[in-house]
Amino acid sequence: MDGEIDHRSTRRDFTSGELQRNQLSDDPFQQFAAWLASATEAGNFDPTAMVLATADASGQPDARYVLLKHFDARGFCWYTDQRSQKGRELAANPRAALVFYWPEIDRQVRISGSVEPLGEEDAEAYFQQRPSRSRYSATASEQSQPIPNRAALEERVAALHRLYPEDNVPRNPAWGGYRLIPDHFEFWQGRRDRLHDRFRYQRNSEGVWMIERLMP
C-alpha cells in the first residue's frame, strides 16, 4: 500500500454559490451567525464542530475537533478538562485558531486570536446543563492522561455513580471553559475552477473591522 490517491475519482468542483463584498456584514460575528444558520438549514449534521488548533511554548502545533457551545461579540466558547493537552498548551501559549467547514454549502470560516479561561460561574452553569451521563464521564476522566484499559475507565464512572447516586455528581474544578477573542476572521466560499472567494476581517488601530478580498 503506497498511499497514492486517485484525484480523478475524488476531485469535485464547488458549485454552491459566490461571495461578493456587498453580501458581507460589516460585523464578522453577524456574518458568522448567518453562515452557521445556513449550514444548519442545509442539513449539516454537526454544524458547531470546529477544529481547534493550539501550540505549546516551543511552537509545536496540535489540532483536534471540539464543539462550539456559545458565542457573542466577546468571542467563541468551548469547554474541556484544563488538564488536557489542549489545556496545558493554552496555559503556556494562550493563542489559538478555529476552523469551521460546511461541505453542504462549500463554505469555510477561519478565526484566530487570543484565548482566556471562562469563570467558574460559566463553567458550573454549562456543566449543569449537560446530560447526566456526560457529567459523570467528565468528572471521571482526567483527559489526555494514560489509563491501562477501558474497564478501568468504566470503573471510575461506576464509582462516581455509587458515590453520587442521586444524579448530583460535582464538577471537577479542572473542568472549565475557554473563550477565543478574535483578531482575524476569514470567510471562504468555494467556487468553480478553484477561483474561490475569500474575505478577511481584521481590526485596525481604532478597533474597527476592516475587510479585504484575498486571492484564492
Is 164 a domain residue? no
Number of domains in the chain: 1
- Is the distance from CB of 188 to CB of 215 less than 8 angstroms? no
Distance CA 18, CA 80 (A): 36
- Amino acid occupying residue 185: F
Torsion of CA 194, 183, 62, 78, to 10 degrees: -110
Is 105 a domain residue? yes
Q: Which residues of 49-68 are buried (b: 16+ CB within 10 A; e: fewer)?
A: ebebbbbeeeeeeeeeebeb
Is 23 a domain residue? yes
Q: Tell me, what's the pLDDT at 1?
A: 52
| Residue of 135, 191, 194, 213 marked catalytic | 194
Encode the chain (216 residues) as per-residue pLDDT tens digits.
Answer: 567 666 555 667 777 789 999 999 999 999 999 999 999 999 999 999 999 999 999 999 999 999 999 999 999 999 999 999 999 999 999 999 999 999 999 999 999 999 999 999 999 999 999 999 999 999 999 999 999 999 999 999 999 999 999 999 999 999 999 999 999 999 999 999 999 999 999 999 998 999 999 999
Q: Tell me, what's the pLDDT at 16?
A: 77
Q: Tell me, what's the pLDDT at 13?
A: 76
Q: Which of 211, 109, 130 is nearest to 172 (CA)?
A: 130
CA angle 213, 110, 59 (to 5 degrees): 115
Is 156 a domain residue? no
Distance CA 183, CA 37 (A): 22
Is 31 a domain residue? yes
Distance CA 84, CA 117 (A): 14
Would the pTM count as exceeding 0.75?
Answer: yes
Distance CA 63, CA 32 (A): 21
Respond yes or no: is residue 194 known to be catalytic. Answer: yes
Q: Which domain range does residue 97 map to?
A: 12-128+174-214
Is 68 a domain residue? yes
Where residue 27 sits, what CATH number does that domain have?
A: 2.30.110.10
Is 59 a domain residue? yes
- Is the distance from CB of 110 to CB of 99 less than 8 angstroms? yes
Q: Tell me, what's the pLDDT at 12?
A: 79
Q: Tell me, what's the pLDDT at 10?
A: 61
Q: Which of 101, 141, 100, 112 is nearest to 54 (CA)?
A: 112
Is 35 a domain residue? yes
Q: Tell me, what's the pLDDT at 203?
A: 93
Q: For residue 133, what is its C-alpha cell?
A: 451521563
